[in-house]
Amino acid sequence: MIETAARTDVREPVRTDAAIRPGAAAGRVADGAVPLAPLTDAGLEVPVLGGGTVRHVNLDIAASAPALQAVAAHVARVLPYYSSVHRGSGYPSQAATALVEDARASVARHVGARDGDLVVFTRNTTEALNLLATAVPGETVVLDIEHHANLLPWRDRRVVVARTSIAETLAALDAELASRPAALLSVTGASNVTGEVLPIAELARIAHAHGARIAVDAAQLLPHRRVDLSASDLDFIAFSGHKAYAPFGAGALVGRADWLDAAPPFLAGGGAVEHVALEQVGWKTGADRHEAGTPNVVGIAALARALAELERLGDAEREAHEAAVTARLHDGLDALPGVRVIRGFDDADDRLGIATIELERGSVGLVAAALGAEHGISVRAGRFCAHPFFDRVSSRSNGLRASLGAGSTADDVDRFVAALGQLVAEGPAFEYSRTPEGWCPVADDRPRVSFD
């Protein structure tokens, strides 16, 4: 069935002052006036309905972040040396091998890995957690707030419904782990729906007090905050390059070796074996055990370089920049009538640059489509691969999420809030139909992008 949104008077896209170019006013980074770091989509112009172009505003960073320009430049430098790893005799092969193993050491250092911890390269966080799930020797306890990647892989799963406060949720987890033994507590470092940050060091203390290990889904947290296994006493973390400004198909699982060495190889194939006979296979231990086949050399190099760039930007500088644009975002949303920001906890005093809203009336899917087609602003509508959590804390079937990152500015926030307010008050300027693929302009005069 096709639904149609009524057309109103055609309006110009909402504009504010153009964003200051990166580096134009370094002292203003802390107030969000300039990007913290240049990304590959900086200055991208996109077409809008009715003709013309506007500067693209990317507020879908929580889904996938563009590459840092420094990461893209690094990839361009290493591409000529791409070759087979570990077994090639030529110079490019030796260079590619060094890239992978140097990246492994860099990732380990960035996340505070202990001596003996493994860094296993994967495609993304989902694959990393699925790998860990094959190694857990017992039950896993999770919260209902988890992204599906940290909810679905566990074979023996016990789910604790989060309470209205973090303090009460910690008490509930403590009670659940005390009720009967569990091998693992696996929790998100920060909600991908609300941006609320969990106290992972305190969660680690609770898990260890009951003889369980802890794994942290750091897909959202790591690109914004330093995550340190040693300092927080974590056993495992999983994260993705595509959320950390390295969208080249690599992620990682980092943590204790014993479970991973005892687990069956995640992939069966070349590189994971010591020897093979028709009747018997001798499997390697260590990271090689779970990295059969040709690795994603370019993605791994990009991931390590992205983490190094985040270090170079500085932990305090990253937090200050994000705090400024996040506060501006929430202040703007709080001032809009008919808009409610979704929260999971009433005592969460730390949140990333993520805000998910629901509308008192109207479709967030239609609003998201109009933001993109009429204003050049990318957001996300849906339940964000966290259906149980979203369904519990929301009153509507879908939400609209805006998410910020290192390339975000105060101007981006202002354009979004102004456009959202206009759409909520007046509706879209063009006609849209609801199709199985979502809301789409009935007459889309924007040219299709071509990369030929």
Helices within 63-165 (DSSP H only): 69-78, 91-110, 125-133
- Catalytic site positions: 385
Predicted local confidence at residue 30, as pLDDT: 75
Burial class, 449, CB count within 10 angstroms (exposed 0-12 / middle 13-18 / buried 19+): exposed
Contact 292, 318 (CB under 8 A): no
Instruction: Identify the band that residue 12 occupies on the pLDDT scale cut at 50, 70 and 90.
Output: low
Q: Which helix (H) or strand (E) holds 251?
A: strand 251-255
362 with 420: CB under 8 angstroms? Answer: no
Q: What is the pTM of this model?
A: 0.94
SS3 content of the chain, % helix, strand, coil (to 5): 35, 20, 45
Q: For residues 389-419, b (16+ Cβ closer than 10 Å) or e, as one string?
A: bbeebbebebbbbbbbbbbbbbbbbbbbbbb
Q: Inform me whether the pLDDT recorded for 25 exceeds 50.
A: no
Average pLDDT, the chain: 94
Whether the CB-CB separation of 248 and 75 falls below 8 Å is answered with: yes
pLDDT at 123 over 70: yes
Where residue 366 falls among pLDDT bands split at 50, 70, 90? very high
User: Pairing between strand 399-403 and 354-359?
Assistant: antiparallel
Beta strands in 299-378 (DSSP E): 339-341, 354-359, 377-378
> Is 241:249 a contact under the CB 8 Å cutoff?
yes
In tens, the pLDDT along 299-357 reads: 999 999 999 999 999 999 999 999 999 999 999 999 999 999 999 999 999 999 999 99
Residue 331, both tokens? 């202040």
pLDDT in tens, 110-122: 999 999 999 999 9
What per-residue confidence (pLDDT) applies to 207? 98
What's the full length of the chain, in residues?
452
- pLDDT tens, 229-288? 999 999 999 999 999 999 999 999 999 999 999 999 999 999 999 999 999 999 999 999
| pLDDT higher than 90, residue 14 | no
Render the burial of 325-347: b for 16+ CB within 10 Å, e for the rest: bbebbbebbeebeebbebbbbee
pLDDT of res. 27: 52
